[in-house]
């Protein structure tokens, strides 16, 4: 028991996290104090370090809010309000997550189809592959607002344009991973399939596809995380009224730092949940297939 605890990374991780929170509290005092001291001196109130510390951790619009302030705000906007309320983070999170998942589905499917094409058609391999890599150097996130506005001008609004951005980000890791995965079977196994006189579709479904699943899941984990980023940035243009990205934007317009931070933490928690969900599915699927984790 003790040995397992020593070997696992639980203790180091929690120590590092505790250290980060400590720095955060100290940073909150350090960054907020100039404003506070300025205010004290204008109002000519007596102040000492203890009062400064307390005020720095309880400002209404702090430069850096203390963690407990963010937690309080999250508690208020997640648990205290009705889920359907426009001020509930659950509502905004749901808006973001739905376009994330739709985009992820489209992107993953597109990525797999492209990878199969690249592996089976030599012309595609030579002509498309370099462009797929080049496509990722285009900062799509940066032009996301334009795509949203452009699609909005022909009447496409809401979930779909955001999903397109997520899908564009998603397909790349899936394609790259799947091309690698579909080519991963040993030549010996391919020869064996040949001696069985297996057709192309047999080779695909019985050999190439199963041996590519570990690669597929490795890419899907990356994909789902960037899919969320795509959805959030897709919500930044002024048109979007709902979603975590819209919360970030309104927060920055009105100087509501606590609101920004709680939207940010909420997005991080969502990302972590999505990735862990993917890991869980990976474990179940690989176990059912009798494979090993790569």
Partner 1 sequence: MNGNWIIILISLIPIFTSMKMVFKKNYKNNIKNSLFLSISVIFGIYILLYGVHNIGSDKAGLGLWMYLFALCVMIWEMLSSWSEIDTSLNSKLNFVINLVVPVLFGISLLFLWQVLTVGLKIPHILLPSPLKIGIAFSNSIPMLWEDFQQTFLKAVLSGYFMGCFSGFIIAIMVDRIPFLQKGLLPLGNLISALPIIGIAPIMVMWFGFDWQSKAAVVVIMTFFPMLVNTITGLSVTGQIEKDLLHSYAANYWQNLILLRIPVSLPFVFNALKINSTLALIGAIVAEFFGTPIVGMGFRISAEIGRLNVDIVWATILVAAVSGSMFYALITICERSLTSWHPSIREN
List of residues contacting partner 1 (CB under 8 A): 9, 11-17, 31, 63, 122-123, 125-131, 134, 136-143, 145-146, 149-151, 153-154, 221-222, 225, 228-229, 232-233, 236-237, 244-245, 248-249, 251-252, 255, 257, 260-261, 263-264, 267-268, 271-272, 275
By C-beta, is 122 or 290 nearer to partner 1? 122
By C-beta, is 106 or 226 nearer to partner 1? 226
Tally of helices (H runs) and strands (E runs) in the chain: 13, 0
Supply the minimum distance, in Å, between the C-beta of residue 234 and partner 1: 11
By C-beta, is 193 or 246 nearer to partner 1? 246
Supply the minimum distance, in Å, between the C-beta of residue 89 and partner 1: 14
By C-beta, is 193 or 258 nearer to partner 1? 258
Supply the minimum distance, in Å, between the C-beta of residue 198 and partner 1: 24
Q: How far apart are CA 134 and CA 111, in angstroms?
A: 15
By C-beta, is 18 or 192 nearer to partner 1? 18
Supply the minimum distance, in Å, between the C-beta of residue 248 and partner 1: 6
Supply the minimum distance, in Å, between the C-beta of residue 96 and partner 1: 10
- Residue 294 neighbours by CB under 8 Å, 6+ apart: 214, 215, 218
Supply the minimum distance, in Å, between the C-beta of residue 195 and partner 1: 25
By C-beta, is 193 or 237 nearer to partner 1? 237
Choose among 106, 135, 143: nearest CA to 234.
143
Q: How many residues does the chain have?
A: 294
CA 216 to chain centre: 18
Supply the minimum distance, in Å, between the C-beta of residue 43 and partner 1: 24
Longest Cα–Cα distance in the chain: 92
By C-beta, is 115 or 165 nearer to partner 1? 165
Phi–psi pair at 78, nearest 5 degrees: -105, -50
Q: HEC profile for 223-287?
A: HHHHHHHHHHHHCCCCCCCCCHHHHHHHHHHCCCHHHHHHHHHHHHHHHHHHHHHHHHHHHHHHH
By C-beta, is 71 or 272 nearer to partner 1? 272
CB 175 within 8 A of CB 161: no
Phi-psi region of 243 (alpha: psi -120 to 50; beta: other; left: phi over 0): left
Q: How far apart are CA 253 and CA 258, in angstroms?
A: 13
Q: Helix or strand or coil: residue 170?
A: helix
Supply the minimum distance, in Å, between the C-beta of residue 143 and partner 1: 5
């Amino acid at each position: 028991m003790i040995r397992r605890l020593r070997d696992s990374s639980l203790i180091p991780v929690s120590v590092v996290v505790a250290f980060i929170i400590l720095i955060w509290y100290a940073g909150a005092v350090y960054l907020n104090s100039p404003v506070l001291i300025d205010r004290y001196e204008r109002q000519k109130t007596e102040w000492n370090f203890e009062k400064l510390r307390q005020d720095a951790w309880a400002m209404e619009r702090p430069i850096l809010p203390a963690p407990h302030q963010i937690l309080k705000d999250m508690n208020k906007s997640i648990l205290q309000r009705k889920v359907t309320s426009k001020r509930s983070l659950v509502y905004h999170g749901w808006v973001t997550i739905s376009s994330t998942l739709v985009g992820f589905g489209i992107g993953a499917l597109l990525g797999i189809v492209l990878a199969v094409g690249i592996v089976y058609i030599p012309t595609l391999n030579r002509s498309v592959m370099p462009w797929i890599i080049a496509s990722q150097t285009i900062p799509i996130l940066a032009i996301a607002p334009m795509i949203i506005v452009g699609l909005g001008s022909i009447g496409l609004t809401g979930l779909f344009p955001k999903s397109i951005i997520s899908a564009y980000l998603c397909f790349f890791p899936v394609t790259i991973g799947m091309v690698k995965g579909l080519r991963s079977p040993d030549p010996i196994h391919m020869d064996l399939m040949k001696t069985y006189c297996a057709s192309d579709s047999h080779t695909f479904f019985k050999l190439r596809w199963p041996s590519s699943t570990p690669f597929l899941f490795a890419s899907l984990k990356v994909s789902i995380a960037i899919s969320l980023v795509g959805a959030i940035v897709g919500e930044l243009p002024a048109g979007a009224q709902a979603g975590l990205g819209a919360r970030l934007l309104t927060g920055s317009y009105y100087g509501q730092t606590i609101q920004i931070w709680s939207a940010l933490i909420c997005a991080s928690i969502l990302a972590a949940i999505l990735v862990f969900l993917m890991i869980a599915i990976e474990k179940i699927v690989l176990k059912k297939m009798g494979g090993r984790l790569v």
